[in-house]
Amino acid sequence: MNDRWTKLENVSARCRDLEGRLADPAVHKNLELMKKLSREHAELRELVETYESYKKLGEEIKEQQSVLAEGDPELVPLAAEELTGLEQRRGALEETLKQLLVPKDPLEGKNIILEIRAGTGGDEASLFARDLLEMYLRYADQKGWKVEILSHHPTGKGGYKEVIARIEGKAVYGRLRFESGVHRVQRVPETEAQGRVHTSAATVAVLAEAEDAEVDVDEKDLKIDVYRSSGPGGQGVNTTDSAVRITHLPTNMVVVCQDERSQHKNKAKAMKILKSRLLEMERERQEQERIALRRSQVRTGDRSEKIRTYNFPQNRVTDHRIGLTIHQLDRVLEGALDPFVEALRANHQAETLANEVAPDQPESRP
């Protein structure tokens, strides 16, 4: 039995151990422990159940092979037909097992900090940044996710120079992680009298929301400035020192929040953004180490890469990483992102599987 089947046996043993511990009355008295063990058991259950079905099919295949070996002329045709179906089902289950064995990203289920910034293109880029925000807001609404705008810097034309939002819900990071990168738009600006198509861009960053325990920030490493808010927000915002600018001295990273009337609330939001950026910085460092061994085609950490083009004249959206083109740009901007989300997730999983060990030989199967 090779490494893959050894791992499956170990997972099955762990699942049985968890079932025993969850039946222990002493565990039920420790609510946190019970939640932790229950969560782990739930994560393993699908893999174990699939593996048990796979082993059961293996036993049924052996039975039919025995019938074929006996050579009974009446039973051989039936056994051969049954054997074909069983082997097909086992092959499908084997592929499912390979997918379930792919290590899950520990950040998969996290909430996110979504940052959108206007790039090249002037006012048109800021309007496109607004369009991208509205696209993600509609997608979040479809998924039942909660959205909170943490910071925004509007322009006089109705767009955004920068906008930062927190999105909370089930597997938000897992579904939106591949949106990070440069999004390019090709369209005729509203202000363009000659009808010429312009190209502009906006950058999107999807950061897993950091929990306090994950990122330790020393107060001595912070320079915190407070000042009077600027821009729209009402008299209360603009006449008090409620705006907060936090500089993380070791990285020279700066976060500004001024949307709230309360200095305390602005500081809390700024710290949330800062910690999520620091978590992403550490994640990218680890990713670069992995890339040194295995080049990733989906996500390189290089946010200067143009990942997607939105072409209005042709009603077309193209994701350049996977070569997927959809001629329904209007629907995509309404939040119909699932075709891209699912394709990118499937491509990432396929690449991960391709870099696993070679498929097991038939004789090694249990």
Query: What are the residue boundaries of the structural domains of the chain, listed by start?
Result: 3-101, 107-209+305-366, 214-291
CA distance 200 to 188: 11
**CATH 3.30.70.1660 describes domain 107-209+305-366:** yes
CATH architecture of the region 214-291: 2-Layer Sandwich (3.30)
Helix 31-70 with 3-22: angle, nearest 10 deg? 130
Percent share of the chain, pLDDT over 90? 36
| Residue 187: count of CB within 10 angstroms of its CB | 19
Least confident segment among 32-41, 107-116, 180-189, 233-242: 233-242
CATH topology of 107-209+305-366 equal to that of 214-291? no
The whole-number pLDDT of residue 357 equals 43
**Is a pLDDT exceeding 80 seen at residue 2?**
no
Residue type, 327: H
Buried b (16+ CB within 10 A) or exposed e, 209-222: bbeeebbebeeeee
Beta partners for residue 317, in sequence order:
310, 326
CB 266 within 8 A of CB 240: no
- Mean pLDDT, range 300-319, rounded to an integer: 79
Separation of alpha carbons 91 and 88, rounded Å: 5
CB distance 54 to 97 below 8 Å: yes
Return the pLDDT at 47.
Answer: 87
Cα–Cα distance between 182 and 133 in angstroms, integer? 14
Q: Residue type for 7, please?
A: K
**Model's pTM, two decimal places?**
0.65
Where helices occur in the chain by DSSP H, the ranges are 3-22, 25-28, 31-70, 76-100, 123-143, 172-176, 235-238, 263-293, 329-333, 338-354
Helical axes 76-100 vs 31-70, angle rounded to 10°: 150
Of 271, 282, 151, 281, nearest to 219 by C-alpha is 271
Mean pLDDT of the chain: 83
